Amino acid sequence: MKVVVCGASGLIGTALRERLVERGHQVVQLVRREPSGPDQVRWDPARRRLDAGALEGVEAAVNLSGAGVGDQRWTPAYQREVLASRTEPTRTLAEALARLEPRPRVLVQGSAIGVYGHRGEEVLTESSAPGSTFLADVVLDWEAAARPAQDAGIRTAFARTGLVMAPGAGAFGKLLPLLRLGLGGPLGDGRQWWSWITLEDEVSALVHLLETDVEGPVDLTGPAPVRNAELTRALGRAFGRPTLLPVPRLALRAVVGGFADEILASQRVLPTVLQRSGFRFAHEDVDAAARWLADAA
């Protein structure tokens, strides 16, 4: 299958590209610079420029484009970038796919469980209502930007990804250096639910969505969400480090700004659609996930 991938140079995109090639798929990358080979196509999503003809023969697409929500402090300018870096590439790609003939069979569109906002003890699934936070609004606009592909009859699955357990990226990229120094501990009161997924299972789930007849929102989280304190203890066991010192809310906010509210948010998300579609996790509990992360770090 010929698959076009946006965001192929990021953490998840790189791992996905490698997995797709291993499975015998042909991967085409969208890049914003001069292409370095025949497997790359240049585009300019900020100006809505993508030659649909360059995607001739594409049967599927995966869109993972987007600035990291925790990469910088949440200034108003960066919040605008977080939104635009998702909606503009999505709309540009969806419109290009809709113009193809024949049209691709599937678009796996990046999304996030941030759509649910802070929900305390509530168990969340794909049928749960959205929240009212900044990230919830971003995700709703992000998913809506894929409408041209849906309207053209392209099966579209929204991969609502949870907290990806991977070294050097996202919330775990910030947590692991502290953990190695023996300074890792529960964030805030540690009672907030964290819906995690290992990078290995994340990539497997994305491939599953390409190859399985699933559409609409799909929560990409592990089957057993845990409270932050429990996850932190599991990491301590896996890395052989103490996890006794809590990180106060004010200290966390001083380091990452408004993103602290998202780190401290409680989201108890279950991957209902993913499991019903036959997906099997490599890491079903937080201890197995922590051990995998320690080996990968």
**80 Cβ contact partners less than 8 Å away, ≥ 6 residues apart:** none
pLDDT, tens only, 210-230: 999 999 999 999 999 999 999
Report residue 289 as tokens: 């996930």
What is the DSSP annotation of 148-214?
HHHHTT-EEEEEEE-EEE-TTSHHHHHHHHHHHTT----BTTS-SEE-EEEHHHHHHHHHHHHHS--
CA dist 223 to 76, 254, 269, Å? 35, 32, 9
Q: Are 239 and 292 in contact (CB under 8 A)?
A: no
What is the DSSP annotation of 78-101?
HHHHHHHHHHHHHHHHHHHHHH-S
Neighbours of 163 (CB within 10 A): 24
As separate numbers, helices (DSSP H) first and strands (DSSP E) second, the chain gives 11, 13
pLDDT value for 182: 81
Spatial CA neighbour of 290 closest among 227, 241, 238, 240: 238
Cα–Cα distance for residue pair 144/91, rounded to 1 Å: 9
User: Terminal CA-to-CA distance of the chain, rounded, Å?
Assistant: 32
Q: How far is CA 67 from the centre of its chain?
A: 11
- Residue 61: helix, strand or coil by DSSP? strand
pLDDT value for 60: 98
Domains along the chain with CATH numbers: 2-296 (3.40.50.720)
pLDDT value for 245: 81
Q: Are 109 and 143 in contact (CB under 8 A)?
A: yes
Cα–Cα distance for residue pair 53/165, rounded to 1 Å: 37
Q: Which residues pair with 4 in a beta bridge?
A: 28, 61
pLDDT, tens only, 93-125: 999 999 999 999 999 999 999 999 999 999 999
Cα–Cα distance for residue pair 126/115, rounded to 1 Å: 10
pLDDT value for 255: 67
pLDDT value for 178: 79
Spatial CA neighbour of 112 closest among 141, 91, 92, 88: 141
Ranges of residues in the chain with a pLDDT under 50 are: none
Q: Are 163 and 171 in contact (CB under 8 A)?
A: yes
Neighbours of 205 (CB within 10 A): 25
Cα–Cα distance for residue pair 182/240, rounded to 1 Å: 9
pLDDT value for 297: 82
Report residue 51 as tokens: 């030659």
Cα–Cα distance for residue pair 222/163, rounded to 1 Å: 9
